[in-house]
Amino acid sequence: MRKKEGNKEVAILDSAIKVFAEYGYHKSKIYKIAELANVATGSVYVYYDDKEAILRKIFDQLWDRLYLQLKSVHENEHLTSIEKIDALIDILFDIFLENSALALVFVNEQFQLIQKAPEKFTDSYNKFLDLGEHIVQEGIDTKLFNPKIDVKIIRSFIFGGLRHLLHQWAHEPALYPLHTIRQNVKFITKNGLLK
């Protein structure tokens, strides 16, 4: 009996990220993904129900990782709210620095997927956002951040700003060193949040 190596499942996912990044979800062909993963077309369907399931899995994994990292930051009692916001930004930058194709997929496809069936979207995503919101609220409560701001709106604003920058960077990494982007984001964010 042949055993599932488990490698194929991962290989398919990695290939999918690359193919989705290059062509966009809709123009990505299953046979391209299979080809790049060195498996047969049909094998894709051994591990994933359909094309969308692959995309969904990509985001599941992504947000699981991001949430766990942010959670560990948040549970560190030695950090101020400011330092936690700093860490949040670092977490996002680091994961995409590691895999720029993933950044492209994230920016280009998450909206469409989440819009289709928000309730089916990975729970870690909402947990991540909630935690981010919580951190901002903590900053307000501890008089570090300006009470005038609406946490949900600011959360979205920062998130969107980061998303856009990461997209540009993923698309043209040479244009700006990531650390410069990072510094600027931290600067504007903090100075905007501090009283």
Task: For the CB of residue 9, give the shortest distance to DNA in the complex, in Å.
Answer: 7
* 188: contact with its own copies by CB under 8 A: yes
Binding partner at 176 among DNA, its own copies, none, C-beta below 5 to 8 Å by kind: its own copies
Buried b (16+ CB within 10 A) or exposed e, 144-155: bbeeebebeebb
* 117: contact with DNA by CB under 7 A: no
* 4: contact with its own copies by CB under 8 A: no
Count other C-beta atoms under 10 Å from residue 66's C-beta. 20
Burial of 48 (0-12, 13-18, 19+ CB in 10 A): buried
Contact mark string toward DNA, 22..61, x via CB under 7 A: -----xxxxx-------xxxxxxxxx--xxx---------
Binding partner at 5 among its own copies, DNA, none, C-beta below 5 to 8 Å by kind: DNA
Q: Considering only residues 139-158, where is the footprint of its own copies by CB under 8 A? A: 146, 148-150, 152-154, 156-158
* 5: contact with DNA by CB under 7 A: yes
Taking the least distance from each CB to DNA, the nearer of 44 and 165 is 44
Task: For the CB of residue 49, give the shortest distance to its own copies in the complex, in Å.
Answer: 16
> Is the separation of the CB atoms in 101 and 18 below 8 Å?
yes
Question: Which residue shows structure tokens 């051994």?
Answer: 46
How far apart CA 107 and CA 100 sit, in angstroms, is 11
User: How many amino acids of this chain bind its own copies (CB under 8 A)?
Assistant: 38
Buried b (16+ CB within 10 A) or exposed e, 168-193: ebbeeeeeeebeebbeebbeebeeeb
* 1: contact with DNA by CB under 7 A: yes
Please name which of 105, 76, 93 lies closest in space to residue 17, comparing C-alpha atoms. 105
* 31: contact with its own copies by CB under 8 A: no
Give the residues lining the site for DNA (CB under 7 A): 1-5, 8, 27-31, 39-47, 50-52
